[in-house]
Amino acid sequence: MSAVISKRSTEAVLISEVGPRDGLQSVAATMPTAHKRAWIDALVAAGLREIEVASFVPARLLPQMADAAEVVRHAVTHAGVCIMALVPNRHGAEAALRAGAHKLTLPVSASEAHSQANVRKTREQMVDEVRAVARLRDEIAPQVPLEVGLSTAFGCTLQGPVAEDDVIWLAEACVQAGAHEVGLSDTTGMANPAQVKRLFTRLQAAVGSHAGAAHLHNTRGLGLANCLAAYEAGVRTFDASLGGLGGCPYAPGASGNVVTEDLVFMFEAMGIDTGIDLPRLFAARQALREGLPGEPLYGMTPEAGLPKGWPSSALPFNKALA
């Protein structure tokens, strides 16, 4: 678990902004590097304390991430912010560590069908990849946490339902291979609140303090409900994307990722501290628009505005829920 999280109170939550990686690699356009830097700066100014800024994959496969090392080197100049990078393998991990990333995240599919289609490896082979990355990390930067995100944990468009026993088995295997944290991802937007609460409860029982973030999508309108269910199950770290950027390019009209602005509003209105300034978070949307002109942005809260008297108006809500 990163130091950023350990300093927060038990009632606080950590919002991990994934737009600069997950969002940008999901759209056709490529945001210029200077605009990426400006967007990250705006997110930091709003109070984000964990940001996933890049994916270290070959530029021929993902040209949107060709400047990954440069973006990481800029992002790490912000004190007190955990800068994350996605790495698919040992080679990507080495590049990310050399660039100075504070935390690595490695995607592993809970669905065998998705694993084969996505990376042409079995789930067992991906556990071996986790082990290889962990060994490399120990050699180069042992202080850097390694997080595994179990994609398709709540269902897969290729094979359909994913057995919960498979998810738990894979989570335990990843921890044994050297992962500090294992989170669950609703890659296809198929999860429901009962399922989310049940599976995160099982995850925590199986791996204890190694249980990680909830990465949930709003593809079918259940993103915030699923986040609340995860919170009630004990989850305190949530991935989200400013403006709901990216996440599900194959669901017409659906933004995919949970919208950071809406998630922050929900928690703050409940009296749960996020450490994020909502007006400044809204302002960060402008930096995003300038870097990706014409790209649709989502979010109910930015459109509706904050309630009259905010933030004091959040207090009666919190008392009513207490």
Annotated active-site residue 248? The verdict is yes
Pair of tokens at residue 43: 């997110």
**Residue bearing tokens 């990706």:** 292
Pair of tokens at residue 183: 């989170």
As a residue count, the chain comes to 322
CA 240 from chain centre, in angstroms, equals 6
Is 261 in contact with 299 (CB distance < 8 Å)? Answer: yes
Which is catalytic among the residues 82, 156, 227, 248?
Answer: 248
Pair of tokens at residue 271: 């009296």
Q: Which residues touch 7 (CB under 8 Å, ≥6 apart)?
A: none
Q: Is 250 left (phi over 0), alpha (psi -120 to 50) or beta?
A: alpha
CB atoms < 10 A from the CB of 87, how many?
28
Active site residues: 248
